[in-house]
Amino acid sequence: MSINESAENYLETILVLSQKLPVVRSVDIAAEMNFKKSSISVAMKNLREKGYITVSDAGFITLTDAGREIADMIFERHTFLSNWLTSLGIDKKTAEEDACHMEHVMSPESFAAIKKYVEDTSSAK
């Protein structure tokens, strides 16, 4: 399941938007990510060709099972890491930005170890 950071960000954005909106369209992704619609169109074509999303005739974008798996993983990492950094005293904006970078480069083993350590430390208090 090798995918680049940019694609992971698009999939995560589609996931987040799908939790807020009845349907997700390219224009919604462009607005959320502050990108031009033309950039989004190219990215959606690539994600569709790789089997991560489907696009209906009406332009509604839906994650496939493979796309959802990646989006869920990135979203979990982002949420966990940003909350953890905030709990360490990092301001929310910096924590969000740092988590956004960390979520893409961390191995599954490292993430699992950090998560277990934080959870064990929290429950020991």
In single-letter form, the type of residue at position 35 comes to: F
Radius of gyration of the chain (CA): 16
Q: Residue 98: its pLDDT value, please?
A: 95
- Alpha helices in 1-125, H assignment, sequence order: 5-20, 26-33, 37-49, 65-87, 92-105, 108-124
Q: Residue 115: its pLDDT value, please?
A: 94
Q: What is the DSSP letter of 63?
A: E
Q: Residue 124: its pLDDT value, please?
A: 76
Q: Residue 116: its pLDDT value, please?
A: 94
Q: Residue 87: its pLDDT value, please?
A: 94
pTM, rounded to two decimals: 0.89
Residue with tokens 């990510």: 33
Contact 37, 26 (CB under 8 A): yes
- pLDDT tens for each residue of 62-113: 999 999 999 999 999 999 999 999 999 999 999 999 999 999 999 999 999 9
Contact 19, 79 (CB under 8 A): no
Domains belonging to the chain, first-starting first, are 5-64 (1.10.10.10), 70-124 (1.10.60.10)
- pLDDT tens for each residue of 10-43: 999 999 999 999 999 999 999 999 999 999 999 9
